[in-house]
Amino acid sequence: MANRLAFPRRMGRTARVAFTGVRIYARYRRTERRVRGRESDAAEATWLAAHQRSAEELYRLATRLRGLYVKVGQFAGTRSDIMPAPYVASLSRLQDRMPPRPVSQVRKTIQQEFRRPTGELFSRFDETPIATASLAQVHRAALRSGEEVVVKVQHPEVAGLVPLDIRNLQMMLGFVARRQPGFDYRAIAAEVSRQVPLELDFVREAEMTARVATNLAACPGVVVPRIIAGFVTRRVLVLEYLEGERLLAPEHLDVQRAQGAELAERITSAYARQILVDGLFQADPHPGNILVLPGGRIALLDFGLTKELPAATRLGFARLVAGAANRDIALIQSAWEELGVRSRDERPAARLELLHLLFGARDGAAPVRATLSRNPVDAVPSDLVLLGRVIGLLRGVCASLGSPLTPMEMLRPVAERVISEQPRSGGGVAADAHPRSTIARGDLHEDPAHA
């Protein structure tokens, strides 16, 4: 059973979040008064200083409270399109290796889950973790049979803290947003509140891993680690060990770039299959979740955040990919309507601008705000928002590998095949049994592509 913090510690945690939110709000109010009447360069420097101090406060809050706050900080630290540069600089440091938890704590969780000590389950259990993240820690081990495995163990307090931390995060961001509309990042809290509970259920993660592995079995050069039967609980997950190099690791980057086009094609093809054919995809393809194996094969890791698409969304996205890659305005318009995107200006040029906002390269938060001020978005499917984030992460991977093609261009052949295989009918894509989830304008705020 997940550990639950005592009431005084829970109140202390809430008070720390509330105090941080109030202090950041007060700082921005003072900054607003200070910049009135100043030259633009002086005003910009004043805002920059406020951003830097506030970003450092959030970094200290995350490193002190850990858990969900590290997860949120990691997410925000990758969103250079919606976050001011000082926040990206400070919060991206949370991507670095987290301090490991004591191995005694890890062993205790394993024994609680399996009712047997690690010495009976494994012939070897390495005390030094190979990875420590915001929600779990991973150790290498060997089964009694001698098979090499990795053991993913959830931090003991995380499950009990997530509901409290989500409420605290929503409180802090809501307080600032209601008083400073220009700093409205409640969409980040909304996205995290949907994602993190899924990532805490390792039984679900094992099921998703097995399903994606079956689906990708036909993709040459793509590997998904095998789940070890009998070694799965809600807080512990054991998988086969794969020997490989982290994608884009600095010490391997030159070698990987030498085969960059091939690696980018292989990674993108795996996601084309997951998204457009199977409608079930690993939704967090950052480089830490991809290994390069001997022979140029790639391994996809960590299926805690795996999304299942309704058929209508999958097929609508295929049409959107084909329309965007072929610059087919009519097809883009049709796909936009199928997917349920609604904006104030529905002329083709305005919709193309929103399409670029969701799936194109972006140069910071200012263009996002400018686009949305010209054409406010009333609703966008939450599935499409997540797909936009996945495409953005893939774009970064492909660019770092030196690929000459964008992910949307590489997805096009699969999208066109999926469209051609659909029976033609006058009514478009058949309605799906899954209800379409949308993010209303009140949840979107400034950036619909990263709610």
- Helix (H) and strand (E) counts for the chain? 18, 15
List of residues 6+ apart from 422 with CB closer than 8 A = 315, 429
Burial 322-340 (b: 16+ CB within 10 A, else e): bbbbeeeeebbbbbbebbb
Tokens 């409180």, residue?
171
Helix (H) or strand (E) holding 140, with range, is strand 136-143
Q: Which one from 284, 302, 443, 447 is the annotated catalytic residue?
A: 284
Answer whether 195's CB lies under 8 Å from 305's CB.
Answer: yes
Which residues, including other chains, have CB under 8 Å from residue 356's CB and lie 6 or more apart? none
Would you give the DSSP letter of residue 277? I
Q: Which of 349, 344, 352 is nearest to 335 (CA)?
A: 352
DSSP 8-state code for residue 87? H
DSSP codes, 293-320: PGGG-EEE---SSEEE--HHHHHHHHHH
User: Long-range contact list for 335-339, CB < 8 A, 24+ apart?
Assistant: 338/312, 338/428, 338/429, 339/313, 339/381, 339/384
Look up residue 53 and give its two tokens.
Answer: 């101090």
Are 67 and 16 contacting, i.e. CB atoms less than 8 angstroms apart?
no
The encoded tokens of residue 168 equal 């605290």
CB 429 within 8 A of CB 312: yes
Q: How far apart are alpha carbons 70 and 404 in whole angstroms?
A: 34
Tokens of 61: 């809050």
User: Strand pairing of 377-381 and 342-343?
Assistant: antiparallel
Residue 184: active-site member: no
Full strand arrangement of the beta sheet holding 222-223: 222-223, 298-300, 290-292, 245-246
Provide the annotated active-site residues: 284
